[in-house]
Amino acid sequence: TGNMWSQPGVRPEVSVEVSPPTILSAGTTQVEGEAGLLYVFPLKKGTVTITVKTIDGSGKKATVKLFVK
Protein backbone atom coordinates (compact mmCIF):
# COMPACT_ATOMS: atom_id res chain seq x y z
CA THR A 1 0.00 0.00 0.00
CA GLY A 2 1.32 3.38 -0.97
CA ASN A 3 0.19 6.85 -0.01
CA MET A 4 -3.53 6.85 0.70
CA TRP A 5 -5.67 9.49 2.31
CA SER A 6 -9.29 10.53 2.52
CA GLN A 7 -10.95 13.78 3.44
CA PRO A 8 -11.44 14.21 7.23
CA GLY A 9 -14.89 13.09 8.35
CA VAL A 10 -15.51 11.10 5.15
CA ARG A 11 -15.85 7.32 5.17
CA PRO A 12 -14.45 6.05 1.87
CA GLU A 13 -16.11 3.05 0.23
CA VAL A 14 -12.91 2.30 -1.66
CA SER A 15 -9.26 2.01 -0.81
CA VAL A 16 -6.56 3.52 -3.01
CA GLU A 17 -3.13 1.93 -3.36
CA VAL A 18 -0.21 3.56 -5.16
CA SER A 19 2.95 1.71 -6.21
CA PRO A 20 5.55 3.07 -5.86
CA PRO A 21 4.35 5.80 -3.48
CA THR A 22 7.44 7.94 -4.19
CA ILE A 23 6.08 8.83 -7.68
CA LEU A 24 2.50 9.81 -6.88
CA SER A 25 0.16 10.36 -3.95
CA ALA A 26 -3.57 9.60 -4.34
CA GLY A 27 -6.74 9.87 -2.30
CA THR A 28 -10.51 10.06 -2.49
CA THR A 29 -13.29 12.36 -1.33
CA GLN A 30 -15.94 9.69 -1.81
CA VAL A 31 -18.87 10.03 0.59
CA GLU A 32 -20.73 6.88 1.62
CA GLY A 33 -23.46 6.11 -0.92
CA GLU A 34 -22.41 8.88 -3.32
CA ALA A 35 -20.04 9.22 -6.24
CA GLY A 36 -16.70 10.73 -5.34
CA LEU A 37 -13.48 11.99 -6.79
CA LEU A 38 -10.04 10.42 -6.98
CA TYR A 39 -7.27 12.96 -6.56
CA VAL A 40 -3.70 12.34 -7.72
CA PHE A 41 -0.67 14.45 -6.87
CA PRO A 42 2.52 13.83 -8.86
CA LEU A 43 5.66 13.85 -6.74
CA LYS A 44 8.33 13.13 -9.37
CA LYS A 45 8.83 11.61 -12.83
CA GLY A 46 8.25 7.90 -13.29
CA THR A 47 5.73 5.12 -13.83
CA VAL A 48 3.13 4.36 -11.17
CA THR A 49 0.28 1.88 -10.72
CA ILE A 50 -2.92 2.97 -8.96
CA THR A 51 -5.29 0.29 -7.67
CA VAL A 52 -8.74 1.16 -6.35
CA LYS A 53 -10.53 -1.58 -4.38
CA THR A 54 -13.99 -1.73 -2.86
CA ILE A 55 -14.07 -2.26 0.90
CA ASP A 56 -17.51 -3.91 0.96
CA GLY A 57 -16.06 -7.42 0.62
CA SER A 58 -17.11 -7.85 -3.05
CA GLY A 59 -13.49 -8.08 -4.19
CA LYS A 60 -13.99 -5.59 -7.04
CA LYS A 61 -10.98 -3.55 -8.10
CA ALA A 62 -9.61 -1.44 -10.93
CA THR A 63 -5.97 -0.82 -11.81
CA VAL A 64 -4.38 1.81 -14.03
CA LYS A 65 -0.76 2.53 -14.93
CA LEU A 66 0.24 6.19 -15.28
CA PHE A 67 3.37 7.84 -16.62
CA VAL A 68 4.27 11.01 -14.70
CA LYS A 69 6.35 13.45 -16.76
Q: What is the pLDDT along the chain (69 residues), one digit of tens a residue?
A: 444 445 555 555 788 899 999 999 988 876 666 667 788 899 999 999 999 888 878 888 889 999 999
Instruction: State in Å, rounded, how far the first CA of the chain is from the last one.
Output: 22
pLDDT at position 42: 93
- 15 class by beta-carbon count within 10 Å (0-12 exposed, 13-18 middle, 19+ buried): middle
Q: For the chain, where are the E strands, in sequence order? A: 4-6, 14-19, 24-28, 38-42, 46-54, 61-68
pLDDT value of residue 1: 43
Rounded to the nearest angstrom, the gap between the alpha carbon of residue 56 and the centroid of all alpha carbons in its chain is 16
pLDDT for position 27: 82
Give the model's pLDDT for residue 2: 47
